[in-house]
Chains A and B, each alone.
Chain A
Amino acid sequence: MPSPNNSDLTRVGLWRRGKDVLATIGAAGAVVLVLVPLIAIFGYLVYKGIGSLNWAFLTETPKPVGEPGGGMANAIAGSCLILLIASCLGVPIGIGAGIYLAEYGRNRFGDLIRFTADVLNGVPSIVIGIVAYGIVVLAQGHFSALAGGVALGIMMIPTITRATEEMLLLVPQTIREAAYGLGVARWRTTLSITLRTASSGVITGVMLAFARVAGETAPLLFTAFGNQYWNWKINQPTAALSLQVFTYAISPFDEWHRQAWAGALILIILIVVAVSAVRVAASHGMLKGTS
């Protein structure tokens, strides 16, 4: 058998090393491409918005046109209220449906739900706004935080459902069997073992859904409607940051434009803080294994 001579080996080595370097550069380049828009957006928001950001902006309601100052405190509170309602609606239904699909949904009905969730995920947000208008606003007779929350909650459901299903299916069957083998009932196994094992993935899904709807404007236009004043009642029209940014951005006033930038900055910060807080809270007391 002829032995490969040295130069052959070196050539193979060089080509392999070359491919290795190319692949590494490619992967690093992809990371940069992902990060650049994110950093650019955040940086531009800070650049444009930081100037108008002050204590008054965070604590006062909007001033009438022409008067300088004022803030978006009511819109910040309104966004929090609407997102809270949306989460109360979307998270339990989304996770519940995901559990059904993963643990009991290997049948026609499961396929139907899966298909429906995927279609719902693709429905334009303004259409969902119209639905919430139809079922809540018309029934109540006026715009409200509840209607806004319902619209955003519906939007959260399909994302959470599919993420929960995927994450639960990743939990090895042997973990479920370990619980069954201890005489633990099936529902208890699902909640205390399977869901708990998959919890970090499920939380990621919930946070994705939350972050996605937190910035939604279209479905709030004719549900929450917006409000220039404080409102804490869920059955009253409510301001929201995204709405306020929209209103201010299309206005002809420079002062309002500057405030719109600051509002957008606050919205992003709010989302980052909420997502991080949930992450920290969820990882608290949870032990990480090596396998």
Chain B
Amino acid sequence: MGVGINVEHLDAWFGKTQSLHDISMMIQANHATAIIGPSGCGKSTFVRCLNRMHETIPEARVSGRVRMGDLDVYNGTAAVQIRRRIGMVFQKPNPFPTMSIYDNVAAGLKLNGFHDRRRLDEIVERSLKVSALWDEVKDNLRKKSGASLSGGQQQRLCIARALAVEPQVLLMDEPCSALDPISTGKIEELIFQLKENFTIVIVTHNMQQASRVAEFTGFFLMGRLVEFDKTEKIFTTPSDKRTEDYITGRFG
């Protein structure tokens, strides 16, 4: 089951540049939350703070509180433990190029010391089925490299890889921006099904996508959270002028 994420007064820096200012937000369990905003507004930085990926960049710094369920993300838990509970899907599909499809999906478990062959087989099959890739790859699981798949298949492979470690939250950083409309449609369908078992945070440039998949939407501008509300409200009657300007295409 998914868990909610509670963000309180989150600030983030790259060196001396502050890229997030005082973000507070309640992300609901088992719902999809979309993060929208113009390029460079801090969307990606924000989701990368949720699973502590931000700190893998030298000189990056964070302050504030992030609670995931009953876990304090920045206090008392190792970053690797947090990341096992919060899966991440990136903008560009990034399968491990030297690994087979099977090994890509099993990578998270194997590299964390899980080697029960039969359980691995089950988990790989289930993850690929959930990510709707199983039928397309089941005959070449161990023969084909993850990098030999098409872009859309690679992204679903990356989703399967993230799901295999059984996270509670799935962060998706513009997961469809490198994909064609058909692959995008498949991934969006997938997000709908995943909501049953996971909490989803999706960064997107595509406002139609936000309105299609997410119950809640947050609008970011220049490192600040301008407005956070039900998606319907954001797209029909936003309470902030800047949100309205953005979604009606006046800037951004």
B92 touches A174 (CB 8 A): yes
CA distance A181 to B161 in the complex (A): 10
Chain B contact residues: helix, strand, loop or mixed: mixed
Residues of B within 8 A of A287 (CB): 98-100, 143-145, 148
Q: Is B208 an interface residue (CB 8 A)?
A: no
Q: Is B80 an interface residue (CB 8 A)?
A: yes
Q: Is A188 an interface residue (CB 8 A)?
A: yes
Q: Is A284 an interface residue (CB 8 A)?
A: no
Q: Is B14 an interface residue (CB 8 A)?
A: no
Q: Is A135 an interface residue (CB 8 A)?
A: no
Q: Is A177 an interface residue (CB 8 A)?
A: yes
Q: In the complex, which residues 75-113 of chain B have their Cβ closer than 8 Å to any Cβ of chain A? A: 80-85, 87-88, 90, 92, 94-100, 107-108, 111-112
Interface size on B, residues (CB 8 A): 35
Q: Is A199 an interface residue (CB 8 A)?
A: yes
Flag the segment in A36-44, A47-55, A189-197 that touches B: A189-197
Q: Is B20 an interface residue (CB 8 A)?
A: no
Residues of A within 8 A of B97 (CB): 175, 197, 289, 291
Q: Is B147 an interface residue (CB 8 A)?
A: yes
Q: Nearest CB to that of B142 among chain A residues?
A: A287
State the Cβ distance, A188 to closest chain B Cβ, in Å.
5
Residues of B within 8 A of A286 (CB): 98
Residues of B within 8 A of A290 (CB): 145, 147-148
Q: Is B237 an interface residue (CB 8 A)?
A: no
CA distance A193 to B99 in the complex (A): 9
A172 touches B94 (CB 8 A): yes
Contact A184 to B145, CB < 8 A, known contacts A196-B98, A286-B98:
no
Q: Is A34 an interface residue (CB 8 A)?
A: no
Interface size class of A (residues with CB under 8 A): 20 to 34
B108 touches A184 (CB 8 A): yes
Query: What does the 1/0 interface line of A105-116 toward B look like (CB < 8 Å)?
Result: 010000000000
Tell which of B87, B100, B107, B158 has the most Cβ of chain A within 10 Å. Answer: B107
Contact A174 to B58, CB < 8 A, known contacts A181-B53, A287-B99, A287-B100:
no
Q: Is A178 an interface residue (CB 8 A)?
A: yes
Q: Is A253 an interface residue (CB 8 A)?
A: no
Q: Nearest CB to that of A289 among chain B residues?
A: B147
Residues of B within 8 A of A183 (CB): 80-85, 108, 112, 165
B84 touches A289 (CB 8 A): no
Q: Is B236 an interface residue (CB 8 A)?
A: no
Q: Is B56 an interface residue (CB 8 A)?
A: yes
CA distance A185 to B82 in the complex (A): 12
B94 touches A177 (CB 8 A): yes
Residues of A within 8 A of B53 (CB): 177, 180-181
Q: Is B217 an interface residue (CB 8 A)?
A: no
Partner pick for B80 among A176, A178, A184, CB 8 A cutoff: A184
A178 touches B96 (CB 8 A): yes
CA distance A93 to B161 in the complex (A): 33
Q: Is A179 an interface residue (CB 8 A)?
A: yes
Q: Is B162 an interface residue (CB 8 A)?
A: yes
State the Cβ distance, B203 to closest chain A Cβ, in Å.
14
* B interface residues with partner A (beta carbon < 8 Å): 51, 53, 56, 58, 80-85, 87-88, 90, 92, 94-100, 107-108, 111-112, 143-148, 158, 161-162, 165
The 5 residue pairs across chains A and B that have the minimum distance between CB atoms: A289-B147, A183-B84, A182-B108, A181-B88, A287-B145
| 27 A-B pairs whose Cβ atoms sit less than 8 Å apart in the complex | A106-B58, A172-B94, A174-B94, A175-B96, A177-B53, A177-B88, A178-B90, A178-B95, A178-B96, A178-B158, A180-B56, A181-B51, A182-B84, A182-B161, A183-B82, A184-B107, A184-B108, A185-B80, A188-B111, A192-B111, A193-B107, A196-B98, A197-B97, A287-B99, A287-B100, A288-B145, A290-B148
